[in-house]
Amino acid sequence: MNTGATISMGSTGVDVSRVQRLLVEMKLLDFTGIDGSFGPNTDAAVRSFQGGDGLVVDGIVGPLTWAALPADPDTPELSQGSSGPVVMSLQRGLTAYSSGDPAVNPGAIDGDFGPMTAAAVRAYQSDRGIGVDGIVGDQTWWVPAGAAGATLATLSSLTTV
C-alpha cells in the first residue's frame, strides 16, 4: 500500500513527485509534469483519478487516495556506475527499444551501467527529444517511447499499470 504525506495544491517534494510518476504511469498527466511541485496540472490529474476511482473529488492526496493508487514503479535515478537488477531492467528496455534505433542498444544485459549503457541512454534521450545527459531520471523513464503507450519504464517492465 502506498503511504505518504497528505499533499495538495502548493505542496512540493518527494511525495508530490511520487504521485506525479503514478499519474503519468496511469496516463493522467504528461511526463513533463513530474517536477515535485503540486500545481494546477497535478491537481486536475488527481481529481480525474479520484473521480474515476469513486473517491471524494477534492484534489487532496490523503490516506484514501494513496491507498487507491497503484504500487510505486521502481524507477530510481540511474547513471554511469550504477549497478544491479534495475540496471538490468533498464538494459532490457533499451534493447527492446533499439529494434527501431540501433544506437540505443546498450550491449550486454549485465546490470552494469557502463560506457555502452551510458551511450545508449544518451541516444535514447536524443531520439525522444529530451535533455541529453546520460542520466536516467523521471523524464527519461517516462517520456513516451513512440509505441502505443510505451515508456522506458514499461519497456523495462518496471510498472504495474
Q: Express each pLDDT in 93-140 by its tens digit.
A: 999 999 888 999 999 999 999 999 999 999 999 999 999 999 999 999
For residue 91, being part of any structural domain is answered with yes
Same structural domain, 148 and 110: yes
Same structural domain, 151 and 96: yes
For residue 60, being part of any structural domain is answered with yes
Same structural domain, 90 and 50: no
CATH number for the domain harbouring residue 58:
1.10.101.10
For the segment 37-60, what is each residue's pLDDT rounded down to a tens digit?
Answer: 999 999 999 999 999 999 999 999
For residue 79, being part of any structural domain is answered with no
For residue 6, being part of any structural domain is answered with no
Same structural domain, 97 and 126: yes
Q: What per-residue confidence (pLDDT) applies to 34?
A: 94
For residue 80, being part of any structural domain is answered with no
Residue 122 CB contacts under 8 Å (≥ 6 apart), including other chains: 132, 133, 134
Res 1 pLDDT > 60: no
Same structural domain, 103 and 137: yes
Q: What per-residue confidence (pLDDT) applies to 161?
A: 54
- Type of residue at 69: L
Same structural domain, 60 and 113: no
Residue 147 CB contacts under 8 Å (≥ 6 apart), including other chains: none
Interatomic CA distance for residues 26 and 21, integer angstroms: 9
For residue 76, being part of any structural domain is answered with no
Same structural domain, 89 and 64: no
Same structural domain, 95 and 150: yes
For the segment 61-78, what is each residue's pLDDT rounded down to a tens digit?
Answer: 999 999 999 988 878 999
Domain that holds residue 143: 85-155
Q: What per-residue confidence (pLDDT) applies to 138?
A: 93
Same structural domain, 56 and 100: no
For CA atoms 82, 86, 92, 98, the dihedral sign is: negative
Q: What per-residue confidence (pLDDT) applies to 141?
A: 95
Q: What per-residue confidence (pLDDT) applies to 3?
A: 74
For residue 7, being part of any structural domain is answered with no
For residue 52, being part of any structural domain is answered with yes
Domain count within the chain = 2
